[in-house]
Amino acid sequence: MSRPIIRYETERLILKPTGVEDAAFILALLNSPGWLEHVGDRNVHTVEEASKYINDRMLPQYEKIGYGNYTVIRKSDNAKVGTSGIYARPGIEDVDIGFSVLPDYMGQGYSYEAAVKLMHLAEHSFGINKITAITTKANIPSQNLIKKLGMKYIKDVKIDGDDEILMQFGIAF
């Protein structure tokens, strides 16, 4: 499956489309304490399973809508610090922005910087006029970041196939 080769840059970061070459990093991210607590166990426990996850869950979205999940890389040392992306999620009406970082890189503003760039692209390059974000009620840091991005609480929602009630925030451009 092909994916766009376009990568984007901010002052400190490179955002590149996530691919199977990122499988070891995605494995670490999906099994990090924050991911497991706030997103959930995706049952990805090997590099091979991470490659399959990327092929099955991430790459098809590039084919369908032209954007998706981006690996966030710190320019200063090429460290893969996290991911950020714009997603079409089942059960969510508008596209959704999401972000996650490995524990060693939390609190350094990388998710905010990447999300600001993606929101700019959403409005000016991807033709999106409204974007949402979802998070668990317990994930206060995520809620704070979403609010810092200018989003306002809309309602509680459920994603198809998941019983957890999530908070949905949004902003129109």
Exposure b/e, 116-137, CB count within 10 A at least 16 = b: bbbbebbbeeeebeebbbbbbe
pLDDT score of 5 = 67
Question: Could you read off the pLDDT of 139-160 as tens digits, one per residue?
Answer: 999 999 999 999 999 999 988 7
Residue 101 included in any domain: yes
Residues facing 172 on adjacent strands: 130
pLDDT score of 164 = 84
Tell me, rounded to whole angstroms, the distance of Cα 3 from its chain centroid: 16
Residue 30 included in any domain: yes
Residue 2 included in any domain: no
d(CA 89, CA 130): 14
Reduce the DSSP state of residue 112 to 3 states and report it. Answer: helix
How much is the pTM? 0.93
pLDDT score of 11 = 97
Residue 26 included in any domain: yes
- Tell which wins on pLDDT, 162 or 165: 165
Residue 1 confidence class, pLDDT cut points 50, 70, 90: very low
What residues contact 47, with CB distance under 8 A and at least 6 apart? 23, 24, 27
When divided into structural domains, the chain yields a total of 1
Domain that holds residue 62: 8-172
CATH of the domain at 109: 3.40.630.30
- Tell which wins on pLDDT, 21 or 88: 21
Question: Could you read off the pLDDT of 62-112 as tens digits, one per residue?
Answer: 888 889 999 999 999 999 999 999 998 877 889 999 999 999 999 999 999
Q: Which residue, chain included where needed, has tokens 């508008």? A: 94
Residue 1 included in any domain: no
